[in-house]
C-alpha cells in the first residue's frame, strides 16, 4: 500500500536553512551498544562495507517484483531468500500462500530475547515515462538538501531501509559481534496489493513459534524529515481496497458490450447505475461515509490521543504541509490541529479511480456495458474489515444495488500498539540519544499489515523504525539517501548504526 | 459521430435462409433512367470501371485522416479535392474554417435542377490490435452472408458509399451521358468530432449560392440490412458532446495533483464532487434527464410519427435486435413498439466514459486531483444546442457546482425533413422499383450534421440515401460489400446504378 508514508516528510524546510552550516549528522549510540566494546569495530565494518551495502540496494532495486502485475514474484522470493541467507539467517524458507510466496528466516544468536523484523519484497507499479532516471536502473543522483541518493522503484519503499537493516547484520558479523537479540525475519511479496495472504505467512509453523517469543516487530523505514525529525506511529488505520463494478451482464439490464450511445433512449446504462450506487456511499461532498452502520464501531479519540495530536500539530508546519500537498483548505476549513484529529479519527470512503467506456482524448459515442470504481476505505479502531465489508454489501443491497459487484483485492484491520511497549520505548530511546526529534502520533492515517502481528493470535507490539530519509514512495523519482549532506538526516552508515543500536536497546530495555 | 448507423442492420436473418437459392440482386431502374436511352451504356461503363472503382475505395481508405487525432487533415482535404476534380467537379476549393478545412465543388450540367451531395473525408479513430485485417490496408475479405467486402477504417463510414456515388459520375462520363441534374458537392473533415465548423463550409460564398438552388441534400450511405431493407430517416436527434471536469485546481478544494488516499480524512475529493454533480443530472437510474428545464422545448411525437414507428416496429424483429445489441430488456421493460417510440422521442444524458485517478489493474491508493465524465446529450425537436448547453451550465451552478467545467467538443441541433419532400419521395421511388423494402422512420436516434442544411438559413431537405451494405462503423473490422452474394443486397455495381437512378429521379420527380 502507499500506506507506509510519513506525512511529516518535506516539512520544516525553513529550519534547515539556519542549520546549513552545521556539521554532518553523526550517530550517537545508546549505553548498551557503547558499553558493548563492539561499537568501534561495528562502525568500522559499516564504513568498510558501504560500497557493498550501496550495491546491495541497487541490485535489489534492479530486481523488481510487482505483485499488482504478477511480475517476477518467484524471482523476488528467491532473491529475498538469498538476501536473508547472506545476512546470516538460517532456516530460510519459501512459504507458499494462496497468493504470492512469503519468505521467513531465523537468527538464533543464543540471546535471551527475540525481535521480529518484517520485510516486503514487492514494489509498486511504475510508469517509466514519468521518471527522470530509469526506475529500474537505481542510479545514484544528487537530491538538493539531502545529498547522494539511489533513485529507483522500491528505493525507499521499502528496499533501501530493509537493506540498511541487513547491512547492520553484515557489519556485526564482519566485526565478529553476535547480535544481542535473536531475530525472526518474516517477509511478504503482497504488501503493495494489501497483503491478502500475509496471515498465512505469519502463522506458518516455520515462523510462528519464533514470532510468539518476540518482544515486538518492526519494519525498517527511513522517515526522517528534512529537519531530521521522525514520527512514531502508535497504530495505523485499517484498509479495504476493492472495486465496485456495475455491468449489464450482472444487472440483467443495459448492454452486454458497449453499444452506440444513441440507444440510451431505449437501453439502461450500467454507468449511471454505478454513479447512483456511489452517490449513496457518502454525503457532505464525499467526506462523510453514509453506509448504514458505518460509525457503529468507531471508537472516539482518547484524551491522550488528542494530546499527542496537539503536540504533533505544534511540532509541524501547516503551511509547508499544504504547499507540499498542493492543498489550500482542509475539509470543512478546519484548523491544522482539528484537521489532524480528523485525519486520525475519521473513517473514509475514497475513490482511487473511475473507469468506464471511452477514456481517451475527445469523445466516443458509446453506451458502456460496464463501469468500475476503485475504492479504498480507511478503518479506525474498532472497525474491522469483515464487519465493514458486510455492511457495505448490505447497504448496496438495501439501497437497491444488489447486482453491483464488490471485488475486494486486499485489506486489513486497524493496528494499535501500546505507548508503553518495548518497541515504542526503544525507538524513543534510540532517536533521543541520536538527537532526532521524535513525536508520538496516535494513528497513522495510512495503513500497513501490522494487525497480523498486533491482532489475534500473536498480539505483538509492532511499528516502523529507522533513521535516514527517502521520498517518492508510489510516485515517480522514488529515492533513498545514502550519503547525507544534511546535518540532521542520517546517511546510510549512520542509519545502519541506528539499526544496530536498536537491537542493543531491545536487548536491554526494561520489560 | 457514430451516429450514421442503421439500427435495422443485422435483423431478419431468418428471412435470408429461405431466399438463399434466389438469383443475385439486380438493380431495377426507374422510368426516367430507363427511358433516357443511356441506361445500358451507363451499366456497361459501371461494370467496365468496377476494378477502378474498387481501387478508388481502397486507396482512399489507405489515406486516412482522423480529425480526433489531428492526423493528416491537410492531406485528407487535398485527397478529397483530387477525387472531386477527377469525378468532374469544377470550382473545387479548399474552404478554411476555424478547424480543419472543408472542400466544395460544383458540377453544372446545364440541367434545370440542383442536388446537393454531402461528403465527410475524416474517419473515426481505430485500435489496429482489435482488427482481423489491418485497418489501413483495405484488404478484400469474404463476409459470410454478404460476399466480398473491403475491410478498413472508413470502408462504410463513409468512403465506400461516397466513392460509389463518384463511380456513378465516372460511369456517366464514360458513357457520354451528362448527369440529369447539377450537383453541389460539400465535404467536411470534422464529421467524426461533431462537425464543429461545418456551418462555415456550408455558408461559404463559394458553395452557398449553389446549395440554395438545391432540391435537397443527401449523404451516400450503404444501409441495406441482410434482408435488403432500408430505413429512410425523416430526421435525426441533435447532439452535444462534452466533458464535465471536476478538479482541485478549479474548485479551490482538494489537491492540485494526485495525493495519498489516506489524506481523504483531511482533504476534499474532486472525484466525489464529480459523482455528486453527475447524480443531479438524471433520475430513474440515469434514464430521465433531471436538468432544470430540460423538457421545456421537447415536442411530443405526432400521430403520424407514432404511426410510422408502429409500422417500423412491425417490420423489424425485436428478438433479433436484442440479440444483436446484447440487451435483454428495454428501459422500463417497454414493449418493442413503445421502446422505439422512446428511442425517437426521449432526450438523453449518456455517460460515454469516466476517467479519474488510477484506471489500471488492481488498485492504487491515491486521492485523484481531477475527474472527467465524457457525456453526450441527444436532443429532440425543438431543443437546441445553445439553449441546452446554457441550461446545463445554469443547472450545475444552481446545484452548487459552478466550478465543474463544461468542455464542449462538438454537437448540433436536431434535423428534420418533410415526408413529402423530393429527396424523401425520390428515395422511396428508387428503393421501391429496385425491390428494396423501405420504411419511413420519424427520427434517427443517432445524429448527423444535417441541421446545417435543414436549419436556417438554407432550410433544405436532407437525408441519407444508398443501396449496398457495410458494417462495423466506429468498430473494428469495418467493411463495405463490393461483390454481393446476397440476392437482396446490392453489390458495388448495383449500388452505383442506384445513385445514377436517384439523380434521374431527382431530375424528374414532381415538386
How is A53-92 classified by DSSP, letter by letter?
A: HHHHHHHHHHS--BGGGTBSHHHHHHHHHHHHHHTT-EEE
Is residue B443 within 8 A of residue B235, CB to CB? The reply is yes
In this complex, the residue of A2, A329, A351 whose CB is nearest that of residue B272 is A351
Rounded to 5 degrees, what angle do the CA atoms A121, A234, A377 make? 65
Q: What distance in Å separates residue B123's CA from the closest CA in chain A?
A: 12
| CB atoms B265 and A331 under 8 Å | yes
Greater confidence, B360 or A289?
A289
Q: What distance in Å separates residue B206's CA from the closest CA in chain A?
A: 31
Confidence check: pLDDT of B120 > 80: yes
- pLDDT tens digits, A332-359: 999 999 999 999 999 999 999 999 999 9
Q: What distance in Å separates residue A286's CA from the closest CA in chain B?
A: 5
In this complex, the residue of A265, A355, A363 whose CB is nearest that of residue B342 is A265
Q: Which residues of B touch A351 (CB under 8 A)?
A: 269, 271-272, 275, 356-357, 368, 371
Confidence check: pLDDT of A23 > 50: no
In this complex, the residue of A282, A374, A376 whose CB is nearest that of residue B272 is A282
* pLDDT band with cut points at 50, 70 and 90 for residue A4: very low
Q: Which residues of A touch B237 (CB under 8 A)?
A: 262
How many CB pairs lie under 8 A apart between chains A and B? Answer: 321
pLDDT of A324: 83
Q: Say how far apart CA B313 and CA A432 lie, in whole Å.
A: 83
pLDDT of B353: 97
* pLDDT band with cut points at 50, 70 and 90 for residue A3: very low
Is residue B195 within 8 A of residue B412, CB to CB? The reply is yes
pLDDT of B361: 86
* pLDDT band with cut points at 50, 70 and 90 for residue B418: very high
Q: Which residues of B touch A273 (CB under 8 A)?
A: 285-286
Q: Give the CA-trace dihedral at B193, B196, B202, B206, to 10 degrees.
A: -100
Q: What distance in Å separates residue A375's CA from the closest CA in chain B?
A: 8
C-alpha cell at A48: 568498510
**Cα dist from B133 to B149, B345, B485, whole Å:** 12, 38, 21
pLDDT of B27: 80
pLDDT of A30: 80
| CB atoms A264 and B193 under 8 Å | no
Confidence check: pLDDT of A9 > 50: no
pLDDT of A21: 30
Confidence check: pLDDT of B99 > 50: yes
Q: Identify the structural domains of chain A with CATH numbers, from first to last.
A: 13-234+416-508 (3.40.630.10), 238-298+347-412 (3.30.70.360)
The proportion of chain B whose per-residue pLDDT surpasses 90, expressed as a percent, equals: 84
* pLDDT band with cut points at 50, 70 and 90 for residue A440: very high
Q: What does the mean pLDDT of chain A come to?
A: 92
Is residue B8 within 8 A of residue B316, CB to CB? The reply is yes
In this complex, the residue of B260, B325, B329 whose CB is nearest that of residue A2 is B260
| CB atoms B368 and A352 under 8 Å | yes
- pLDDT tens digits, B450-459: 999 999 999 9
* pLDDT band with cut points at 50, 70 and 90 for residue B89: very high
**Cα dist from B335 to B310, B341, B343, B350, B507, whole Å:** 11, 10, 12, 22, 42
C-alpha cell at A251: 444487472
| CB atoms B2 and A287 under 8 Å | no
Is residue B241 within 8 A of residue B255, CB to CB? The reply is no
Is residue B150 within 8 A of residue B75, CB to CB? The reply is no
* pLDDT band with cut points at 50, 70 and 90 for residue B473: confident
Residues with Cβ within 8 Å of residue A59, at least 6 apart in sequence: A138
Q: What distance in Å separates residue A283's CA from the closest CA in chain B?
A: 9
Q: Which residue has cell 489515406?
A: B63
Q: What distance in Å separates residue B332's CA from the closest CA in chain A?
A: 9
Q: Which of B215, B222, B151, B211 is nearest to B187 (CA)?
A: B211
Task: Report how far apart the first and last C-alpha atoms of chain A are (Å, whole number).
Answer: 32
Q: Say how far apart CA A498 and CA A99 lie, in whole Å.
A: 34
In this complex, the residue of A346, A350, A359 whose CB is nearest that of residue B355 is A359
pLDDT of A19: 32
The proportion of chain A whose per-residue pLDDT surpasses 70, expressed as a percent, equals: 95
| CB atoms B378 and A265 under 8 Å | yes
Q: Which residues of A touch B321 (CB under 8 A)?
A: none
Q: Which of B219, B260, B254, B489 is nearest to B366 (CA)?
A: B260
- pLDDT tens digits, B261-289: 999 999 999 999 999 999 999 999 999 99
ipTM: 0.87
Q: Which residue has cell 527522470?
A: A132
* pLDDT band with cut points at 50, 70 and 90 for residue A1: very low
C-alpha cell at B358: 488510477
Helix residue spans in A203-353 (DSSP H): 208-213, 248-251, 270-279, 303-315, 318-325, 336-345
- pLDDT tens digits, A443-487: 999 888 999 999 999 999 999 999 999 998 888 899 999 999 999
DSSP B172-184: HHHTT---SSEEE
Q: Which residue has cell 468506464?
A: A356
A373: preceding bond cis by omega (within 30 degrees) = no
| CB atoms B3 and A260 under 8 Å | yes
> What's the whole-number mean pLDDT along residues A296-325?
93
The proportion of chain B whose per-residue pLDDT surpasses 70, expressed as a percent, equals: 95
The proportion of chain A whose per-residue pLDDT surpasses 90, expressed as a percent, equals: 83
**Cα dist from B144 to A503, B61, B84, B158, B471, whole Å:** 75, 22, 33, 22, 12
Confidence check: pLDDT of B3 > 50: no
pLDDT of A42: 96
Q: Which residues of A touch B248 (CB under 8 A)?
A: 326-327
Residue of A nearest to B366 (CA): A352
Q: Say how far apart CA A447 and CA A383 lie, in whole Å.
A: 14
Q: What does the mean pLDDT of chain B come to?
A: 92
Q: Which residue has cell 489524506?
A: B263
* pLDDT band with cut points at 50, 70 and 90 for residue B146: very high
Confidence check: pLDDT of B122 > 50: yes
Q: Which residues of B touch A361 (CB under 8 A)?
A: 68-69
In this complex, the residue of A5, A267, A348 whose CB is nearest that of residue B264 is A348
Q: Which residues of A touch B326 (CB under 8 A)?
A: 248, 255-257, 259, 369
- Sheet containing strand A147-151, strands side by side: A139-143, A147-151, A479-484, A470-471
Q: Say how far apart CA A350 and CA A355 lie, in whole Å.
A: 15
> What's the whole-number mean pLDDT along residues A52-62?
98
In this complex, the residue of A265, A342, A350 whose CB is nearest that of residue B261 is A350
pLDDT of A25: 80
Q: Say how far apart CA B148 and CA B142 lie, in whole Å.
A: 5
Residue of A nearest to B69 (CA): A361
C-alpha cell at A45: 565494518
Q: How far is CA A372 from the centre of its chain?
A: 26
Q: Which residues of A touch B347 (CB under 8 A)?
A: 265
Interface test with A, best of B264, B280, B369 (most A CBs within 10 A): B264
> What's the whole-number mean pLDDT along residues B403-411?
95
Confidence check: pLDDT of A11 > 50: no
- pLDDT tens digits, A166-193: 999 999 999 999 999 999 999 999 999 8
| CB atoms B326 and A369 under 8 Å | yes
| CB atoms A278 and B275 under 8 Å | yes
pLDDT of A363: 84
- pLDDT tens digits, A223-275: 999 889 999 999 999 999 999 999 999 999 999 988 999 999 999 999 999 99
Q: How far is CA B29 from the centre of its chain?
A: 27
Residue of B nearest to A357 (CA): B353
| CB atoms A410 and B346 under 8 Å | no
Amino acid at each position: 500500500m502507499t500506506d507506509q508514508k510519513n506525512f511529516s516528510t518535506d516539512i520544516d524546510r525553513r529550519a534547515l536553512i539556519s542549520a546549513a552550516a552545521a556539521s554532518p549528522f553523526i550517530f550517537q549510540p545508546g549505553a548498551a551498544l557503547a558499553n558493548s566494546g563492539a561499537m568501534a569495530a561495528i562502525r568500522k565494518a559499516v564504513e568498510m562495507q558501504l560500497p557493498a551495502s550501496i550495491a546491495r540496494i541497487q541490485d535489489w532495486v534492479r530486481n523488481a517484483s510487482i505483485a499488482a502485475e504478477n511480475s517476477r514474484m518467484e524471482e523476488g522470493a528467491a532473491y529475498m531468500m538469498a538476501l536473508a541467507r547472506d545476512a546470516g539467517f538460517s532456516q530460510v524458507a519459501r512459504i507458499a500462500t494462496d497468493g504470492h510466496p512469503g519468505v521467513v528466516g531465523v537468527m538464533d544468536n543464543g540471546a535471551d530475547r527475540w525481535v521480529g523484523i518484517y520485510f516486503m519484497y514487492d514494489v509498486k507499479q511504475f510508469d517509466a515515462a514519468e521518471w527522470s532516471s530509469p526506475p529500474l536502473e537505481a542510479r545514484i543522483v544528487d537530491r538538493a538538501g539531502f545529498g547522494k541518493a539511489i533513485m529507483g522503484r522500491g528505493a525507499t519503499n521499502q528496499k533501501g531501509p530493509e537493506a540498511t537493516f541487513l547491512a547492520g547484520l553484515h557489519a556485526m558479523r564482519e566485526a565478529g559481534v553476535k547480535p544481542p537479540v535473536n531475530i525472526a525475519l518474516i517477509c511478504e511479496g503482497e504488501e503493495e496489493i494489501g497483503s491478502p495472504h500475509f496471515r498465512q505467512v505469519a502463522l506458518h509453523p516455520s515462523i510462528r513459534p519464533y514470532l510468539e517469543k518476540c518482544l515486538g516487530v518492526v519494519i525498517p523505514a527511513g522517515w526522517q524529515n528534512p529537519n531530521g525529525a521522525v514520527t512514531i506511529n502508535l497504530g495505523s488505520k485499517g484498509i479495504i481496497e476493492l472495486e465496485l463494478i456495475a455491468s449489464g451482464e450482472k444487472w440483467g439490464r443495459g448492454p452486454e458490450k458497449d453499444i452506440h450511445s444513441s440507444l440510451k433512449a431505449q437501453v439502461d446504462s450500467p454507468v449511471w447505475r454505478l454513479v447512483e450506487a456511489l452517490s449513496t456511499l457518502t454525503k457532505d461532498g464525499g467526506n462523510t461515509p453514509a453506509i448504514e452502520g458505518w460509525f457503529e464501531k468507531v471508537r472516539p479519540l482518547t484524551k491522550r490521543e488528542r494530546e499527542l495530536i496537539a503536540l504533533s500539530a505544534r511540532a509541524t508546519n501547516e503551511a509547508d504541509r499544504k504547499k507540499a500537498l498542493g492543498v489550500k483548505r482542509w475539509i470543512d476549513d478546519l484548523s491544522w490541529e482539528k484537521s489532524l484529529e480528523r485525519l486520525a479519527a475519521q473513517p473514509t470512503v475514497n475513490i482511487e479511480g473511475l473507469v468506464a467506456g471511452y477514456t481517451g482524448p475527445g469523445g466516443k459515442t458509446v453506451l458502456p456495458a460496464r463501469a468500475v470504481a476503485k475504492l479504498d476505505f480507511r478503518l479506525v479502531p474498532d472497525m474491522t474489515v469483515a464487519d465493514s465489508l458486510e455492511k457495505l454489501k448490505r447497504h448496496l443491497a438495501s439501497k437497491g444495488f444488489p447486482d453491483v459487484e464488490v471485488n475486494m483485492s486486499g485489506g486489513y484491520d486497524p493496528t494499535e500498539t501500546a505507548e508503553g511497549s518495548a518497541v515504542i520505548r526503544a525507538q524513543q530511546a534510540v532517536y533521543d540519544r541520536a538527537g532526532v526529534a521524535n513525536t508520538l502520533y496516535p494513528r497513522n492515517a495510512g495503513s500497513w499489515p501490522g494487525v497480523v502481528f498486533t491482532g489475534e493470535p500473536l498480539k505483538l507490539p509492532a511499528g516502523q523504525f529507522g533513521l535516514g530519509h527517502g521520498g517518492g514512495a508510489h510516485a515517480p523519482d522514488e529515492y533513498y539517501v545514502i550519503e547525507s549532506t544534511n546535518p540532521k538526516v542520517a546517511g546510510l552508515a549512520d542509519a545502519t548504526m541506528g539499526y544496530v543500536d536498536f537491537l542493543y536497546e531491545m536487548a536491554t530495555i526494561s520489560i
